[in-house]
Amino acid sequence: MFGIINFETFLVAGVLLILTPGTDTMYILGRSISQGKRAGLMSALGISTGVLMHCIFAVLGLSILLAKSALAFEVVKYLGAGYLIFLGLKSLVTKTKTSYELDDPNSVRSFRKIYVSGVLMNVLNPKVALFFLAFIPQFVDPAYAQSSLTFSVLGLIFLLLGTVWCVLLSFFASKMSNSIRANYKFKAWLDRITGIMFIGLGIKLALARK
């Protein structure tokens, strides 16, 4: 159906890939542990939106540019790395409030920023674009006339699986750390650890090769 081949293999491989810890997982964990459930949820939704955009880019053929052009790959890579390092430094220098509240209902603007950060972090990771170009075509029947439709269906299934995992991850991570985050001194240390983690992820992305 829809020109999909070896669908069962796609599901198994997709789930295993999603469960493998990576930049997205660490970002969601960092937000969830240091800032709470809603922040973790917004970061998960931001990551998922970024994956959706990569899927659209791949269908439109824009991701091929990253695969073909070394310059385009390097530009996007360093933009993503710079953004992650910026987030890390910001987390390190921001002073923790002594009256910290979990899931502050007045933090709509803050949650919007977290969502946008998740989108940008994922979109500016060229490795995700290359993943879509390398992984999904293996399950597209080359004889099927509407290959773009097949690619879209597989991409959306992968997105759905990934979104479910990211949301569950954010909930569990925030739940486990509620008592720690309630103490502002622990929160200060969590902010520093999160900042260092983001900087490390940025450096790792900067050193990445095709």
pLDDT at 67 (0 to 100):
60
Q: What is the per-residue pLDDT across 140-166, written as a single tens digit (0 to 9) for each? A: 887 776 777 888 888 899 999 999 999
Q: Tokens standing for 43?
A: 């970061």
Give which of 147, 149, 129 is closest to 75, Cα–Cα: 129
pLDDT at 99 (0 to 100):
41
Mean pLDDT throughout 125-135? Answer: 78
| pLDDT confidence tier of residue 185, bands split at 50, 70 and 90 | low
- State how far the Cα of 63 lies from the Cα of 111, in Å rounded to an integer: 29
- State how far the Cα of 150 lies from the Cα of 148, in Å rounded to an integer: 5
Give which of 95, 105, 127, 117 is closest to 28, Cα–Cα: 117
- Given a cut of 70, whether residue 61 has pLDDT beyond it is yes
pTM of the model: 0.71
